[in-house]
Amino acid sequence: LWQQLAIKEFTDKESFQKEFVRHVETTLARSMYNCDDLAAYLAASQSIRDRLIVAWNKTQQKQTTKDQKRIYYLSLEFLMGRAMDNAMLNAGVKEITKSGVDDLGFKIEDLLEQEPDAALGNGGLGRLAACFVDSIASTNYPGWGYGLRYQYGIFKQQIVDGYQVESPDYWLAFSNPWEIPRYEIAVDVMFYGYTRKYTNDEGKTVSVWEGGEQVQAIAYDVPVPGYDTETTNNLRLWASKPTREFDFEKFNSGDYESSVSESQKAETISAVLYPNDNFYSGKELRLKQQYFWVAASLNDIVRRFKKSNRPWSDFSDQVAIQLNDTHPTIAVVELQRILVDMEGLEWDKAWDIVVSTFGYTNHTVLPEALEKWPVPLFGNLLPRHLEIIYNINLFFLQKVEKMFPKDRDMLARVSIIEESSPQQVRMAYLAIIGSHKVNGVAELHSDLIKTTIFKDFVTIYGSDKFMNVTNGITPRRWLHQANPKLSELIASKVGSYKFLKDLNLLKKIEPFAKDPEFQKKWTEIKRFNKARLAAHIKKHNGIDVSLDALFDVQVKRIHEYKRQQMNIFSVIHRYITIKAMTAEEKKEVTPRVCIFGGKSAPGYYMAKTIIKLVNSVSEVVNNDADIGDLLKVVFIADYNVSKAEVIIPASDISQHISTAGTEASGTSNMKFVLNGGLILGTVDGANIEITREVGEENIFLFGHLAESVDDLRHQRRFNDLPLNPDLQKVLDVIDSGVFGDKDIYGSLVYSVTGSRDYYLVSDDFQSYLEAQKLVDKDFKDQTTWVSRSITAVANMGFFSSDRAIDEYAESIWNIEPVAN
C-alpha cells in the first residue's frame, strides 16, 4: 500500500505549479497575494528539494542493498555556492521550473538571485571538495562528503575607503531549503578529561579515556544530485549542540543561568569557519572543530559498517576515507582508538586496517600552511589521542631505525613529534604514516612534495606511495550553468550535451576554430558575457567600462605568493606609460579593463594593503581624463562562487602569476580557459598541464622556473641586488603620494625591495611586462585570438573533475560505480 501512496514527482509545468503553490500556502504559510521573490524562491526550492529527497532515498536504498565499498570525503570546507540552478539542471527540470514560475509572474533569474551562497570554505581547497562531490554523484560512485555546518560562512567583504571591512555571513537567516536536519542522528563527542590504565579480565593492560566535557553532533544532510542520473549522494554536515544532560550539578545548586550559558558554549564549536587560506594559526577552538567533526563522522561510518555484520578485516574493503589536506588527520588516530580501545583489536591488526583505509591529499608546500599542534594543547584536549600518537610514532621510528641504523638525523627529521619548545605534532607526517597513498594536486606540485617537504618519506616508503592526481572542475557548473550560451553553441557542433559528462568530446569543436561563422557566434557570446559583467560593475562600482577593451581578470584569495602586488604594479606601469604618450601614440594602445577581486584573511596586513592599493589606483586612473577608456581598474568586492559564475565567462585574459613552485595547482585557471579566456601565467601548478593540453601558442607564459627559485632567493639574500628599473619607477610613483599617503604602502614597497623580495617580484617583472606587451599586440588580431580561444576550449577535456574522480576511484579508493 505505501508504495502506491508514495509521493509523485512533478513531471510537467502544471504539476510543478501545484507543488509550488502548495509550498507557498502550507510550508511557508503565505498567500499567493503576498508572495515576493524570496518566498517564491523558497517555494520553488522546496518543490525541487522534494524531488531530490525521493531520488536520495532511492539511491541510499540501492547503495545499501549493493553494499559495495564507499568513499567518504572528509573536508573542513565545502564551498558549494548556490544550489537551486544546479539542482534544476542536474535533475533535468530547469525548463519546467522556468516556465512554471514565469506563468505565475516571476522571473527565474530573480528567484535564483535570492539564494545566499553556501560559502563554507575559503578558496581552492573548499571549491575542489564541492566539484568532487558533484562528480562523485554524476559518475554514480557511492560516496558521501562529511563536513561542518558552520552558522557563519566566509565573511562578507565590503570596501570602505579602499579598505577591506569584514562582516559576518549569517547565511541561514531565511532558513535553508537545501538541508535536511536529522535530529535523531546525534553523536556524543568528548573533550579533555584524562586517561586511566587498568588490567582487564584477560589480564591485558588497557587504556580508557574518562571525564571531560561532552557535546552533541547533530547531522544535517545536503542532497548532492548527479547530473543526468538518478544518483543523489549525501553531504553530511555536523552541527554542535549541548548534550541533553547539561551540567546538572550547577543546575541543581541553583546556578541556573550559568549552567545555561555553559551549555550554550557547545554551539560555538561549529559556529564559524576560520577565514585563513593557506595559513596555519594554532587556535584551540580550531582543533576542537577538527576533532568534533572527525569523531562524529567516524562514529557514523563505523556504525554503518557494523550493520553489515562483517568481520573487522573487511573494513577497508568496504570503506575508503580521503583526507582533504591535514585538517581531518586526527581521524587516523580516532579510528585506531575505536578499533583498539573500544573494539578490542590487536594494535597491529588495527593499524593495518587504518592504513589501508586512509588516503591523504596535500594541497600546499608553503611552510606557513602546514599544521603543527603544540603538544601541551593537544594533550590537554585529547589526552588518549596523544598517547596513541606517541605509540604510532614509536613503532614508525623503530622501523626507520632498522632501515637506517646509523642515521639519527633521519629519526629527528621524520618524527611526528618536532623537538621544539614546546614540542609540536606534525600533522602532515601523521597523515603520511597513517595513509596508504599520498597525492599532490598537479604534476609539478606532486614532484615537489616528493623532492622537498616529504623527501625522507619517499626514501622510507619508496615512491609508489606518492602519486599525482591533477585537480579538475565540474563542467556542469563552470560551463553549462555559468555560460549557457557557450554551452549551447558547443552542443550545436558536438551534436548533443554529452560533453557535459564526457568532456573530451569538446575536441569536436576544434575543426571549427577557423570557421568564420562559428568564430562570429563565439565572439558574440564573449561580448554578451562581457556586457553582463559590465552591468555588474556599473551597478556596484559605478564605473563604465568599454566592451571593446580587453578584460583582464585576477580573482582569487589575496596572498603575497599569488602576487596581486605584481599585477597592480604593472597596472601602475601601464598608467604612467600611457600618461607619457602623445595623442598619436595613444591610438596604438589596446584598451584594458583590469579587474581584481578576492578576500584577504582578516589578520593579513600585507594582503589588506594590496587591496587598498588596488582601490586607490582605481580611484586615480578611472578619473584621469588623459586616460579615458584606455585603462580602467576595478576591484569587485566580496568575490564568491556566484560572482565567479558571472566574472569568469567575461574574461579575455586571466592572470595566474604565482612565484613558480608555490601554487599547488590552481583551479580557476581551468575555469577561465574552459570559458574561452586565455591565460597569462607563470610556469606553475596546473598552468603547466594546461599548456601541454592547449598548446603553448595558446597561453602566455613568463617568469623564472621553479627549479631556479632557490638560487634566486639565495642570491637576493646575500647580495644587494638592484631593483628592476621599471619596478623602481613604479615604486617611486607610489612614494610620490599619487595614490595617497606613501606611509600606507611602506611595508608593501619594502617587501619587494632588495633581500626581502621572497616571492621574486623584481626578478620576474621584466618578463611579466614583456608578456603583457605580447597580450596587447595579439589582442588586436581578433581573428587569430578567437581561433586560439576555440582551440584552447577544445582541448580542455582533461580538466573535468569527473576524470580526477575516476583516477582517485581507480588508484586510491578501489571503488566501482553503482549501476542505475
275 binds ligand 26Y (CB under 6 A): no
Burial code of 375-412, b = ≥16 C-beta within 10 A, e = fewer?
bebbbebbbbbbbbbebbbeebbeebeeebeeeeebee
| Min CB(805)–ligand 26Y separation in Å | 14
Question: Between residue 717 and residue 776, which ones bind ligand 26Y under the rule CB under 6 A?
Answer: none
C-beta of residue 768 within 8 angstroms of C-beta of residue 683: no
**Is position 671 annotated as part of the catalytic site?**
yes
Chain centre distance of CA 123: 4
> Binding pattern to ligand 26Y, positions 319-338, x when CB under 6 A?
------x-------------
Which residue in 552, 663, 757, 763 binds ligand 26Y (CB under 6 A)?
663
Dist. CA 182–CA 808, nearest whole Å: 30
Q: Is the dihedral of CA 796, 528, 530, 779 positive or negative?
A: positive
Give φ, ψ of 34 to 5 degrees: -120, 45
Which residue in 47, 483, 665, 787 binds ligand 26Y (CB under 6 A)?
665
Query: Between the CA of residue 514 and those of 340, 438, 493, what are the distances in Å?
Result: 65, 43, 14
C-beta of residue 121 within 8 angstroms of C-beta of residue 599: no
- CA nearest to 363, candidates 476, 482, 449, 465: 449
Question: Between residue 436 and residue 475, which ones bind ligand 26Y under the rule CB under 6 A?
Answer: 441, 471
666 binds ligand 26Y (CB under 6 A): yes
- The cell for 702 is 613568463
Of the candidates 562, 599, 632, 704, the residue annotated as catalytic is 562
| Min CB(700)–ligand 26Y separation in Å | 20
85 binds ligand 26Y (CB under 6 A): no
> Binding pattern to ligand 26Y, positions 108-127, x when CB under 6 A?
--------------xxxx--
C-beta of residue 535 within 8 angstroms of C-beta of residue 545: no
> Binding pattern to ligand 26Y, positions 494-523, x when CB under 6 A?
------------------------------
Which alpha helices (H) appear in 254-283, and where do they start and end? 256-265
374 binds ligand 26Y (CB under 6 A): no
How many residues touch ligand 26Y (CB under 6 A)?
Answer: 24
369 binds ligand 26Y (CB under 6 A): yes
**Is position 149 annotated as part of the catalytic site?**
no
The amino acid sitting at 272 is V
Of the candidates 82, 556, 632, 788, the residue annotated as catalytic is 556
Query: Between the CA of residue 800 and those of 251, 449, 502, 505, 803, what are the distances in Å?
Result: 56, 24, 8, 11, 6
**Is position 327 annotated as part of the catalytic site?**
no
- CA nearest to 373, candidates 429, 450, 425: 425
**Residue with Cβ nearer ligand 26Y (660 or 727):** 660
**Residue with Cβ nearer ligand 26Y (439 or 609):** 439
Choose the stretch contacting ligand 26Y; rule: CB under 6 A; options: 61-69, 273-281, 302-310, 601-609.
273-281
End-to-end CA distance of the chain: 25
**Residue with Cβ nearer ligand 26Y (369 or 430):** 369
Choose the stretch contacting ligand 26Y; rule: CB under 6 A; options: 28-36, 659-667, 688-696, 781-789.
659-667
- The cell for 159 is 570596501
Choose the stretch contacting ligand 26Y; rule: CB under 6 A; options: 51-59, 269-277, 502-510, 544-552.
269-277
Chain centre distance of CA 738: 37
155 binds ligand 26Y (CB under 6 A): no
- The cell for 101 is 514560475
Choose the stretch contacting ligand 26Y; rule: CB under 6 A; options: 56-64, 564-572, 665-673, 708-716.
665-673
Which residue in 50, 371, 763, 764 binds ligand 26Y (CB under 6 A)?
371
- Interface contacts to ligand 26Y, rule CB under 6 A: 122-125, 128, 274, 276-280, 325, 363-364, 369, 371, 441, 471, 663-667, 685
Which sequence positions are flagged as catalytic? 363, 556-557, 562, 667, 671
